Homo-oligomer: A and B are copies of this chain.
Amino acid sequence: MTNVSGGTLRRRPAQRRSLERVERMLDECARLLDEVGYEALTTKEVARRAEVPIGTFYQFFPDKQGLVRALALRNLDAFLDRVTARLAEVRLSDWTEMVDLAIDEFVVMKRSTPGFAVVDFGEVLPTPGGPALKGSERMLDAALENNVIVADRLRAITIDLLGAPIGPRLDRALVVAVEAADAVLKLAFRSHRDGDPDLIEECKRLVRRYLSDHLPGDAPGGRGGAGALA
């Protein structure tokens, strides 16, 4: 429920109707993305489907890219909510199970949430080591602020899971893992409608292997081990 997507907006909707409209525009944007892709998506068509005049569209969104970025943030937010919720349900005996859970949840959202499979997750991820420099005019300040929020949530979830604070190395490793997993899963969905199961499995292996450098327990080799979480 944490609203994270405000930063890419030109004006934050305050009244009921405008709030609904912004939400509707994001919905239609997601569906259109699935249908025609980013390139062919037109702001006019998004506005038309959301039954909103084009002027209103630009009252809230700065441009086409801002619209998609706002959607990406909303998606990411929803994903983090779901992972948090699932983690509250299950008790994990091992951090590798958390990896599987997160990836499974990600796959589920790719399958079920419109637009989720299309938007570039990396565009919204926090950049470790200070704010990005970005050659040109992109990346609004407010968006950066949101990224910090997201980064904090990622960190918070992990700290909660480990029961201990994490250092800058693990912090960076998490970002790397997410970036890599995102890319591999995108590949998995490029060749296969519901995501190539083999590639999804490879994605889990990739992340588990990599994080075993940074997280306690489980000497890599396959057998379950001494590395309990709590």
Contact = CB atoms under 8 A, between A and B. Distances in A.
Contacts of A133: 191, 193
Contact of A129 (B35, B127, B132, B191): B191
B184 A176 contact: yes
Interface string A97-125: 00000000000000000000000001001
Size band of the interface chain A makes with B: 35 or more
A196 interface: yes
A40 B137 CA distance: 10
Interface string A131-145: 011111010000000
A128 B187 CA distance: 9
A128 B133 CA distance: 35
The secondary-structure label for the interface of chain A is helix
A199 B172 contact: yes
A34 interface: yes
Nearest to A173: B202
B199 A37 contact: no
A210 interface: yes
B122 A183 contact: yes
A180 B199 contact: no
Interface in A39-68: 39-40, 65
Most buried by B among A172, A173, A209: A209
A132 B196 CA distance: 12
A127 B209 contact: no
A182 interface: yes
Interface of A: 34-37, 39-40, 65, 122, 125, 127-130, 132-136, 138, 172-173, 175-176, 179-180, 182-184, 186-187, 190-193, 196, 198-199, 202-203, 205-206, 209-210, 212-213, 220
6 contacts: A39-B65, A133-B193, A172-B202, A179-B184, A209-B210, A212-B220
Given A129-B192, A183-B183, 9 more contacts: A36-B135, A122-B186, A129-B198, A132-B191, A173-B202, A175-B187, A176-B187, A205-B210, A220-B220
